[in-house]
């Protein structure tokens, strides 16, 4: 099942004869499930059953990808994992860690799959990532059960302002990765059964036509189950929480010479079995303490 946010309303995406169609969840369920996409996660198990058995695909209507919002628009918690691919840890100069490096992207940075992003500086970098949504409240998850707590998988960019991220003796991961629209996600949430092997998906992104990252999620140091086990030892995980699972090698900050996103660049990210998201970049007003984006 593909779960989407269409114009702020929960929708199920179904395959039509000439392309994807969207079924409005609140209308098609006669109000049994809410219109607010975030609110659906409180009823995820019942919603999945309804979508599997009672949803009428004939109610599907065409839609424009630009009208999709983030499939999980207001998560209570957003976990993000750093250096979760060995090749990226190596290029970034980080030694192997004994636990997942964890920070947050503040939820106000989340955006839909097709959006424009204002560059606050000339040092904004790309990080394509698989993103996991939590299906229901849990703590002390056991690795054998971990996938039962996954509502679905989506694709995200962990856009990162490197100057503020790495300034000072205590890096500012969370703030530097939370500028407006720095967390685009989508195009929808694919339930794990939609994917041939949710543990081994091709993931990539291209900047203005050049492939800059390309890997498989099976190369993650900490797998999805392992991340849920470790995070849930500390925090209760809540329905509709997100986990950005880390980026593979190929970021701009690790290149020689370094390369960052310029105004006019288009970033297209892809995740096998899920789809693609597209961000266009424009120069924004310089933010305090940051060098201005080149115009």
Q: What residues make contact with Zn ion under the rule CB under 5 A?
A: 127, 158, 247
Q: In terms of CB distance, is 83 or 237 closer to Zn ion?
A: 83
CB of 173 to Zn ion, least distance (A): 8
CB of 50 to Zn ion, least distance (A): 34
What stretches of the chain adopt beta strand conformation (E)? 2-6, 9-16, 19-24, 68-69, 78-82, 101-103, 110-111, 114-119, 124-125, 128-134, 150-157, 160-161, 183-190, 202-207, 210-216, 242-244, 266-271, 275-283
The residue whose Cβ lies closest to Zn ion is: 158
Q: In terms of CB distance, is 29 or 247 closer to Zn ion?
A: 247
Interatomic CA distance for residues 91 and 229, integer angstroms? 27
Q: In terms of CB distance, is 123 or 247 closer to Zn ion?
A: 247
Interatomic CA distance for residues 256 and 135, integer angstroms? 41
CB of 209 to Zn ion, least distance (A): 23
Q: In terms of CB distance, is 83 or 119 closer to Zn ion?
A: 83
CB of 155 to Zn ion, least distance (A): 13
CB of 116 to Zn ion, least distance (A): 21
Spatial strand order of the sheet with 202-207 comes to: 114-119, 275-283, 266-271, 202-207, 210-216
Give the number of other CB atoms < 10 A from CB of residue 57. 12
Q: In terms of CB distance, is 48 or 105 closer to Zn ion?
A: 105
Residue at token pair 């040092």: 123
């Amino acid at each position: 099942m593909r779960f989407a946010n269409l114009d702020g309303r929960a929708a199920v995406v179904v395959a039509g004869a000439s392309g994807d169609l969207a079924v409005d969840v609140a209308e098609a369920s006669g109000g049994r499930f809410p219109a607010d996409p975030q609110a659906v996660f409180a009823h995820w198990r019942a919603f999945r059953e309804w979508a599997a058995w009672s949803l009428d695909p004939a109610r599907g209507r065409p839609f424009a990808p630009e009208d999709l919002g983030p499939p999980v628009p207001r998560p209570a918690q957003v976990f993000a994992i750093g250096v979760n691919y060995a090749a990226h840890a190596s290029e970034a100069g980080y030694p192997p860690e004994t636990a997942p490096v964890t920070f947050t992207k503040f939820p106000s940075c989340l955006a839909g799959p097709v959006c424009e992003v204002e560059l606050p500086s000339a040092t904004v970098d790309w990080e394509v990532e698989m993103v996991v949504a939590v299906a229901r409240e849990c703590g002390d998850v056991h690795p054998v059960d971990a996938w039962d707590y996954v509502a679905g998988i989506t694709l995200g960019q962990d856009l990162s302002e490197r100057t503020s991220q790495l300034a000072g003796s205590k890096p500012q991961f969370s703030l530097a990765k939370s500028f407006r629209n720095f967390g685009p996600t989508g195009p929808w949430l694919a339930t794990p059964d939609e994917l041939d092997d949710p543990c081994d998906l091709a993931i990539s992104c291209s900047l203005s036509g050049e492939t800059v990252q390309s890997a498989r999620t099976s190369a993650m140091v900490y797998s999805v189950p392992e991340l849920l086990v470790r995070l849930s030892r500390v925090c209760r995980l809540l329905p509709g929480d997100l986990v950005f699972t880390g980026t593979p090698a190929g970021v701009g900050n690790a290149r020689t010479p370094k390369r960052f996103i310029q105004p006019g660049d288009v970033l297209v990210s892809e995740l096998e079995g899920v789809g693609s998201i597209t961000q266009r970049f424009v120069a924004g007003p310089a933010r305090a303490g940051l060098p201005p984006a080149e115009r």
